Amino acid sequence: QAAEHAYNVIGASIPGIPGLIMGRNESLAWVATSLCADVTDLYVESFQGGEGNRYLYGDDYVDAQTVDEEIRVFPKRSHSHRVVITRHGPVIYRRGSKGLALRWAGHDTPNDSVGCMIRLGMARDWDQFVSSLEGYGGPSLNLIYADVEGNIGYCAAARIPVRRGCDGSLPLPGESDAYDWEGYVPMRDMPRALNPEKGWIVAADSRVVAGRYPFAITTAGDPPARQARIHELLSSKHVHDVRSMRNLQADVYNRRGDFLRRELGEAAASGKAVGNRLGEALDIMRWWDAMADEDSVAQSLFSETWRVLTERVLRHRLGHGLYYQYLTSFRQVNEVVESILREKRHEWLHPSANDFGDMLLQCLEEAVLRLENRFGTSDMRRWRWGALNKLDIPHQLGLLMPLRRMPGLGTVECRGDAETICCSLPESDATVQIKARSSFGCLHESSDPPRHYGGNVHAGTVLRMILDLSEKESSLWCLDVGQSSNPYSRFFRNFNSLWRRRDYALMAFRNEEVSKVTLDTLRLIPASGAAEGGL
């Protein structure tokens, strides 16, 4: 809260940056998810000779800019690194006379992202909210809006390149301007909606525009499973409250798991003989409610069976190397496998199977063997999903070699998977997200599987927030860790136990409520003679 109440907000910020990325003030509230926009392109530059820094543009070779960066290496001498910069950006890869230059929207100036975050908190209505985003150049966001008058809205915030003749998914020839960006999509043309007819807005990192939108935003949004499930739950009743939103955020219904459960049931009903172990696994799948809880054995069976199915459907057609490149570079692999399973096209059938039902039973049988080996027991009752789906929460400074002993929050079991509302992504999925959402995917040269393919959790829900703009103080929130990164602070892990229990803390906003829960107050007082005009 600023003096004279010009700036009175509560919410979540990015450490070190003033302003909130999501939160509320007296008049409105906003939250954010990733727009997953592709704001980078790679250009293939042709250099003169093997080692020179002159590159082809048009019919002539021109000089690239060079910058010598000094990288200080503790505790000894510094390291000097020369960066070669073409008209498209820094060269990030070079082999002989060819190089890849990175064009990134974040390199362009001016960039008033910090000012935008501050102005969001000062907005009082929809028009002010949208206009506050002028000049934003930070990470691409879906911003969802609601105000005390009952309005809801959506606005994309990003610098979306206006591309010519391409969608940015492949490296482009750099010797001409035929594929250069033509600036950025104007704010007035960005995806936007106010008070849609259906009465709600969902943005779960999936595509937010239809094919008719004239500008290329992304080719690699998240699969639609989470978004579809949210739509399903919102449409299931006419009136929602804080309790129903809590249930929605905790939902771990696995749509793809439910689909595979039905397919396995049909395969088992076809009359094929099955052994005792396979029969036990089929019984577990048959009675599964498709919820990916920590104690679910069926979720473990589904996850491993789907992994075996993906291997058998794709690897024998793509080959070992191409299969793993495909697996680690594209977000829609599961959609492809499900489509193949639904259409049952014979060319995708594994040579060892007579039909798709036979192949599914083979996959489940192989999954049983793998899980037995992984858990070290044949007792399926002990094959809990939480034992496979674990999240390690280290201290961020503990990732650095000299500070490896910095205490973190330990290892916790997680519910859900990559496609449930309450999600938990294995390292393989998190890596694919980073690579597939930009043009970097083409740089992947490894033919090996990810280090923890389908293993420990690498990403998931960090912040849960339910904002209620009614008169009563019922807004809730919860972090996965604590409000302080100091291991000796009482706030180091103060939210973690709530997060594990899927519980929340009261998000007090009005002064009388804030005073009841305040433990400490930090007051910032400008120095005498400080420049006026701030908050």
pLDDT per residue as tens digits for the range 286-336: 999 999 999 999 999 999 999 999 999 999 899 888 988 888 777 788 999
Residue at a domain's end among 107, 140, 160:
107
Reported pTM? 0.87
Q: Can you tell me whether residue 520 is helix, strand or coil? A: coil
Last residue of a domain, one of 107, 141, 162: 107
Which of 113-127, 269-283, 418-432, 480-494: highest mean pLDDT?
A: 113-127
Q: How far apart are CA 369 and CA 302, in angstroms?
A: 13
For residues 349 and 483, state if they share a domain. Answer: no
- CA pair distance 363, 30, nearest whole angstrom: 45
482 and 371 assigned to the same domain: no
Domain assignment present for residue 240? The answer is yes
- Domain span at residue 446? 221-227+234-461
470 with 414, same domain: the answer is no
**Distance between start and end Cα atoms, the chain:** 10
pLDDT mean over 459-470: 88
Residue 14 lies in a domain: no
Which pLDDT band holds residue 344 (cuts at 50, 70, 90)? Answer: very high
Choosing from 84, 107, 130, the residue where a domain stops is 107
Together in a domain, 390 and 509: no
Residue 16 within a domain: no
| Same domain? 454 vs 468 | no
Tokens standing for residue 320: 């070992």
Q: Are 46 and 62 in a shared domain?
A: yes
349 and 471, same domain (yes or no): no
Total structural domains in the chain? 3
Q: Within a domain: residue 488?
A: yes
C-beta separation of 250 from 422 below 8 A:
yes
* Residue 131, domain member (yes or no): no
Name the residue with tokens 């302003």.
19
Residue 508 lies in a domain: yes
Domain membership flag for residue 11: no
Q: Which CATH number fits the domain that encloses residue 78?
A: 2.30.120.10
In a shared domain, residues 291 and 355:
yes
Same domain, 276 and 388: yes
Q: Are residue 499 and residue 429 in the same domain, yes or no?
A: no
Per-residue pLDDT tens over the stretch 23-82: 999 999 999 998 989 999 999 999 998 778 999 999 999 999 999 999 888 777 888 999
Residues 191 and 154: their CA atoms lie apart, in Å, by 8
Residue 65 confidence (pLDDT): 96
pLDDT confidence of residue 445:
37
- Residues 243 and 277 both lie in one domain: yes
Q: Are residues 310 and 361 in the same domain?
A: yes
Question: What CATH number does residue 405 fall under?
Answer: 1.10.1400.10
Question: Helices 225-234 and 255-268, interaxial angle, to 10°?
Answer: 100
What share of the chain has pLDDT > 90, as a percent? 58
Q: What angle do CA 471, 473, 477 make, to 5 degrees?
A: 135
Residue 437 CB partners (closer than 8 Å, separation 6+): 36, 37, 38, 218, 220
Half-sphere exposure of 405 (CA within 13 A, CB side): 1
pLDDT at 2: 65
